[in-house]
């Protein structure tokens, strides 16, 4: 009797084991099959980007992926992560999710750090703070860390600049960066781009002009502020080159605005010209200590290819077209300036 009971018990246990094994096998088969079928659905969106910050843990990744609302079955994704060893291989970055991706494809992308680069554009900035804000809106970089590095004399010297000239290294353009690029990585990249920009042809023109790279960029930064008309920039640059060659002050209003840290001034008055600053080119001859902004490539090339003429003065055209009228003598310039000032007074523009 006892022997029959034991036999029945063993049979029952065997049945249970078989059921468990079958269930487990079915579950494993189901999970494995889910690795091979699409598990990403971005809906009407062509793709979705997820951003995994530096120092993120596996639990953070699960939350970020789930919050993207692009995963069909989060449980099979977790199983795939576990089977493929991803929990211990989290890599920061910006990753693209597209409809039709399988768990295997998605985990491979994350595990290998196959990021989608960010196209970063920055133009028209005057200060490191402005550049830092624009970069931090597009990359993981903290703007405060960027500004601190920008203002560091040690960092500037490392790249061959001074704090006053460091802005010249950042040539405005569109570049591709990985989202989690570090501060040093960003600066290293911009140094390489700077050296690429200064081709042998550009370098020769800069040396032939007697200005060198920094001198060219400094004048270009002034030209950039003086006119919005790209086709007029070589002519404006020619005026400043003529003044430098003659040894007269540049007398560039944008440098006064920079010294006052007030670019909202539309009309530079006598009271503004008294500001004591090495950037005040009404008081100090020669070039200011460095660029007053990061000039566009077109402005730099305008200086390198400046127009050779006999003009030493220019005044805004009274028709407010954005162009200027040029003069060879001070008397002629004063007449042009008075006409422009008369129009300003008519328009009640006093500042």
Which whole number is the average pLDDT over 343-350?
Answer: 68
Tokens representing 111? 């595990």
Which whole number is the average pLDDT over 291-306?
Answer: 96
Which whole number is the average pLDDT over 285-296?
Answer: 96
Q: Is residue 3 part of a domain?
A: no
Pairwise pLDDT comparison (344 vs 34), residue with the higher score: 344
**What is the structure's pLDDT at 344?**
75
Query: Which residue, 94, 116, 138, sits at the end of a domain?
Result: 116
Q: Indicate if 247 and 341 belong to the same structural domain.
A: yes
Query: Which residue, 138, 171, 197, sits at the end of a domain?
Result: 197
Q: What domain range includes position 162?
A: 119-197
* Dihedral Cα 217, 221, 226, 231, nearest 10 deg: 50
* pLDDT score of 76 more than 90: yes
Q: What is the mean pLDDT of the chain?
A: 89
Which whole number is the average pLDDT over 185-197?
Answer: 97
Q: Indicate if 207 and 173 belong to the same structural domain.
A: no
Q: What share of the chain is helix, strand, coil (3-state, %, to 5)?
A: 55, 10, 40
Q: Give the predicted TM-score (pTM) of the model.
A: 0.83
Cα(344)–Cα(11) distance, rounded to whole angstroms? 104
CB burial readout 159-180, b (16+ within 10 A) else e: eebebbbbbbbbbbeeeebbbb
Tokens representing 262? 């007030």
- When divided into structural domains, the chain yields a total of 3
Which whole number is the average pLDDT over 2-12?
Answer: 57
């Amino acid at each position: 009797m006892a022997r029959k009971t034991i036999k029945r018990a063993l049979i029952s246990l065997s049945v249970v084991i078989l059921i468990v094994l079958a269930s487990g096998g079915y579950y494993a088969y189901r999970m494995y099959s889910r690795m091979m079928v699409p598990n990403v659905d971005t809906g009407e969106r062509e793709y979705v980007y997820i951003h995994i910050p530096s120092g993120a843990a596996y639990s953070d990744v699960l939350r970020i992926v789930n919050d993207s609302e692009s995963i069909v079955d989060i449980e099979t994704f977790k199983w795939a992560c576990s089977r493929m060893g991803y929990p211990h291989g989290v890599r920061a970055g910006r990753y693209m999710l597209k409809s039709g991706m399988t768990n295997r494809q998605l985990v491979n992308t994350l595990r290998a750090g196959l990021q989608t680069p960010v196209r970063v554009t920055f133009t028209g900035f005057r200060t490191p703070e402005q550049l830092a804000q624009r970069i931090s809106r597009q990359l993981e970089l903290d703007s405060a860390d960027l500004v601190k590095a920008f203002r560091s004399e040690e960092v500037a010297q490392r790249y061959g600049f001074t704090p006053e000239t460091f802005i010249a290294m950042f040539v405005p353009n569109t570049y591709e960066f990985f989202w989690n690029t570090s501060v040093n990585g960003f600066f290293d990249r911009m140094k390489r781009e700077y050296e690429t920009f200064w081709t042998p042809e550009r370098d020769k023109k800069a040396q032939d002009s007697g200005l060198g790279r920094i001198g060219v960029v400094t004048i270009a930064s002034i030209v950039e502020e003086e006119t919005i008309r790209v086709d007029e920039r070589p002519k404006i640059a020619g005026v400043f080159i003529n003044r430098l060659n003659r040894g007269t002050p540049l007398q560039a209003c944008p440098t006064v605005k920079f010294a006052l840290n007030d670019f909202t001034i539309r009309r530079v008055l006598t009271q503004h010209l008294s500001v004591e600053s090495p950037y005040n080119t009404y008081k100090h001859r020669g070039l200011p200590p460095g660029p007053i902004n990061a000039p566009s490539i077109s402005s730099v090339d305008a200086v390198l290819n400046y127009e050779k003429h006999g003009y030493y003065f220019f005044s805004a055209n009274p028709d407010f077209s954005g162009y200027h009228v040029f003069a060879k003598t001070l008397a002629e310039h004063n007449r042009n300036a008075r006409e422009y000032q008369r129009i300003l007074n008519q328009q009640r523009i006093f500042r």
